[in-house]
């Protein structure tokens, strides 16, 4: 199987590091023109310059946008879609703050909703009309294994990501006739700055060492290791390709076998 995404335009959110950067890199390796989107322009410049160029005419760009400021994000993303069209949309954002429900208030949930749901919904609604006109498109949502099994101390993420999954399934039914697919990836534990920050926070609260907590996480995973960002990118590249043209409305666990449901 040789995945070719030449002439395809991809937009990847939160792509300056971790899973987002892994996705952007793999899509570029397959020939796609990749726009990386995040809030830090310097990091965006660096990742854009590092993306592979595998054929003549392939080009990459970046878009500065802060997912946590929905009003400003809405203006920026609307301006982007007035000029560009996207064949592959990868909805990925930074995660909301951790915490138990008892530590949170309704404003925290509203902020998480704006971050995880409204940005995804706005971007997707802007991408769909041109996808319909072309008669094809790929919408891939970077989600979490918490959609199936809530994760302790992540009340905000557990709640809002489940809402995104239900919305995505609903949307997939409405636009499947246009040969546009919508799929979620349920992310397990990957070797990223996000997981590192969660481990550090847990260490600070429990008094356990970072190494001890990381080892405990790895031991719960049947493969006994954290995932690699490039492994994530490879699944996204497949879902973005013609090989996945009949896969839609799904939520695919990518967690080293950790999920106990099937």
Which residues are bridge partners to 182 per DSSP? 139
> Domain residues for 220?
189-226
Same domain, 235 and 138: yes
Same domain, 218 and 166: no
Same domain, 146 and 215: no
Answer whether residue 112 is part of any domain: yes
Answer whether residue 2 is part of any domain: no
Same domain, 203 and 119: no
Same domain, 216 and 111: no
Answer whether residue 237 is part of any domain: yes
Same domain, 174 and 193: no
Answer whether residue 4 is part of any domain: no
Confidence (pLDDT) at 33: 98
Same domain, 201 and 87: no
Does the global pTM surpass 0.85? yes
Same domain, 60 and 78: yes
Same domain, 184 and 60: yes
Task: Decide if pLDDT at 152 tops 70.
Answer: yes
Other CB atoms within 10 Å distance of the CB of residue 96: 23
pLDDT tens digits for range 185-240: 999 999 888 788 888 888 888 999 989 999 998 999 999 999 999 999 999 999 99
- The pLDDT mean for the chain works out to 95
Mean pLDDT of all residues in 253-260? 90
CATH number of 74's domain = 3.40.50.720
Confidence (pLDDT) at 123: 98
Same domain, 173 and 200: no
Q: Which residue has the higher pLDDT, 255 or 196?
A: 255
Q: Classify 7 in phi/psi space as left (phi over 0), alpha (psi -120 to 50) or beta.
A: left
Q: How far apart are CA 158 and CA 6, in angstroms?
A: 36
Task: Decide if pLDDT at 262 tops 70.
Answer: no
Q: How far apart are CA 165 and CA 186, in angstroms?
A: 9
Confidence (pLDDT) at 195: 83
Answer whether residue 152 is part of any domain: yes
Q: How far apart are CA 148 and CA 136, in angstroms?
A: 29
Other CB atoms within 10 Å distance of the CB of residue 215: 11
Q: What tokens appear for 156 in the block?
A: 């905000």
Answer whether residue 21 is part of any domain: yes
Phi, psi of 61, rounded to the nearest 5 degrees? -145, 175
Residue 63 near residue 80 (C-beta atoms within 8 A):
yes
Q: What tokens appear for 166 in the block?
A: 């239900």
Q: How far apart are CA 3 and CA 128, in angstroms?
A: 23
Closest by alpha carbon to 60, among 33, 30, 24, 86? 33
Answer whether residue 95 is part of any domain: yes
Same domain, 180 and 195: no
Residue % of the chain over a pLDDT of 70: 99
Answer whether residue 194 is part of any domain: yes
Residue 149 near residue 250 (C-beta atoms within 8 A):
no
Confidence (pLDDT) at 32: 98
Residue 202 near residue 213 (C-beta atoms within 8 A):
yes
Confidence bin at 95 (pLDDT 50/70/90): confident
DSSP state of 35: E
- Count of domains for the chain: 2
Same domain, 199 and 174: no
Q: How far apart are CA 195 and CA 248, in angstroms?
A: 28
Q: How far apart are CA 16 and CA 38, in angstroms?
A: 7
Question: First vs last Cα of the chain: how many Å apart?
Answer: 26
Residue % of the chain over a pLDDT of 90: 85
Task: Decide if pLDDT at 261 tops 80.
Answer: no
Residue 39 near residue 66 (C-beta atoms within 8 A):
yes
Phi, psi of 221, rounded to the nearest 5 degrees? -90, 125
């Amino acid at each position: 199987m040789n995945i070719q995404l030449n002439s395809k335009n991809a937009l990847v959110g939160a792509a300056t590091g971790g899973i987002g950067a892994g996705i952007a890199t793999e899509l570029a390796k397959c020939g796609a023109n990749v726009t990386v989107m995040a809030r830090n322009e310097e990091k965006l410049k660096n990742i854009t310059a590092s993306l592979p160029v595998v054929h003549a005419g392939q080009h990459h760009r970046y878009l500065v946008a802060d997912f946590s400021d929905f009003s400003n994000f809405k203006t920026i993303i609307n301006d982007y879609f007035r000029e560009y069209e996207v064949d592959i949309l990868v909805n990925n954002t930074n995660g909301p703050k951790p915490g138990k429900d008892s530590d949170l208030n309704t404003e925290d949930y509203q902020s998480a909703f704006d971050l995880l749901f409204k940005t995804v919904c706005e971007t997707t609604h802007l991408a769909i009309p041109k996808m319909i006109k072309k008669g094809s498109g790929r919408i891939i949502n970077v989600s979490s294994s918490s959609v199936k099994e809530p994760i302790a101390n992540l009340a905000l993420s557990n709640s809002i990501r489940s809402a995104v999954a239900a919305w995505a399934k609903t949307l997939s039914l409405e636009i499947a006739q246009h040969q546009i697919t919508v799929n979620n990836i349920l992310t397990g534990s990957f070797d990223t700055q996000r997981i590192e920050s969660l481990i550090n926070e847990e260490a600070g609260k429990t008094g356990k060492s970072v190494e001890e907590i990381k080892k405990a996480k790895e031991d719960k995973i049947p493969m006994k290791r954290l995932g690699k960002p490039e492994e994530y990118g490879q699944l996204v590249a497949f879902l973005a390709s013609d090989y996945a043209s009949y896969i839609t409305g799904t939520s695919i666990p990518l967690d080293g076998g950790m999920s106990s449901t099937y």
